[in-house]
Structure 1
């Protein structure tokens, strides 16, 4: 079936069986990607299924507003993402990692220092790339489990290349508020990736020590 904007606009105008058939094809060809994205954020296939189904209902209800400009799959994907953000917003907020001034709390800072000290104590240890990837994956999974909304937005920025204007539209925030939120996402991520950063740092040469050695020769 033709999944172009013109074909979708025609299906929307015809309604009934035409739009139903069109959406079945979309679900067959793109549904798995929508489910994976929702499941990664929600950490629940059941909740992901509910989000995607709710999004498809919204697509059905709003199809008349599509004007045939741009990619209809991208338009549908945006509705899925809005629905996912709504689901994440309904979850109970997590305990804050930042204090009132926007800095990491004392407890988090202590945990970061402990991880860094334990890694730096063995600077000779060289971790293979696949080991670092496993640590990174574990850090991200913990971050996503405890801060799913922030992890989802960072995944869109880093993995999918969405820019601030894309995130602004998804979050329905002003440009300034969007920049601040993305900054908050990065701040929240820092303590979760402390282990990975410390291991990377432990495997790098000490520039200061190297400089002293060069000057001593």
Structure 2
């Protein structure tokens, strides 16, 4: 079965085994990508499985609303990402409130600055050691993991922008925000990420300072 708009529209119209077969093919051929994306954001394969299954139920329920000639896989992927954002927001709402990293003026608080300086001083070797590229990449991954653990929704959106190349219009649709609010949110993502990457910046910046 071809996973195109015509076959999807026909499957949605006929329902039953037709749409079930269509979605099984989607899961077999593209499900791994959905699971990996959700697991990277949620840091749990079990939670990722719940998100993807929930998303597939939503696809089933909403397939009659699909309007071609757009790509059905892109439409399904957006539902997966919306479901993932809902899960991240629910988790964040249930998490205990953390100490803020920034004050009202957007500057690092003293406690956060001290933590960043401590990470930079003791977490990795200095640039003078000429670390191999794979070591620098390891530092980057560790920094991103710390960022994602503290701000999972912001880290996920930033990954969509940087790695997947989603533009502001796509992020706007996912966040269901106005263009201005979306630009502000993406700016917040970068600001929140900056202190977590202090160790990496210290390695790659000639001056050894964060931008």
Normalising by the residue count of structure 2, what TM-score does the alignment of the two structures yield? 0.90
What are the Cα deviations for residues 46-76 of structure 1, in whole angstroms up to 9, with x where unaligned?
A: 1111100000000000000011221100000
Partner of 1:75: 75
Q: CA deviation at 1:118?
A: 6.3
Q: CA deviation at 1:107?
A: 1.4
Matched position secondary structure for 1:162: coil
What are the Cα deviations for residues 77-115 of structure 1, in whole angstroms up to 9, with x where unaligned?
A: 000000000000001355232222222222122233344
Partner of 1:214: none
Paired residue for 1:166, among 145, 170, 184? Answer: 170
Partner of 2:116: 112
- Is 1:15 the equivalent of 2:37? no
Partner of 1:47: 47
Q: Distance in 2 between matches of 1:77 and 1:122?
A: 41
* Worse-superposed segment, 57-66 or 143-152: 143-152
Given that 1:115 and 1:198 are in contact with CA atoms closer than 8 Å, whether structure 2 keeps it comes out as: no
Paired residue for 1:153, among 134, 154, 157? Answer: 157
Unpaired runs of 5+ in structure 2? none
Partner of 1:210: none
Partner of 1:57: 57
Unpaired runs of 5+ in structure 1? 207-217
Given that 1:38 and 1:48 are in contact with CA atoms closer than 8 Å, whether structure 2 keeps it comes out as: yes
Higher-Rg structure is: 1
Are the structure 2 counterparts of residues 52 and 40 from structure 1 closer, same or farther at C-alpha, using a change threshold of 3 Å?
same
Task: State the structure with bigger RCO (CA 8 A, min sep 6), 1 or 2.
Answer: 1
Q: CA deviation at 1:205?
A: 7.3
Matched position secondary structure for 2:128: coil
Q: CA deviation at 1:45?
A: 0.7
Given that 2:101 and 2:112 are in contact with CA atoms closer than 8 Å, whether structure 1 keeps it comes out as: yes
Matched position secondary structure for 2:161: helix
Paired residue for 2:179, among 171, 175, 179? Answer: 175
Given that 2:127 and 2:204 are in contact with CA atoms closer than 8 Å, whether structure 1 keeps it comes out as: no
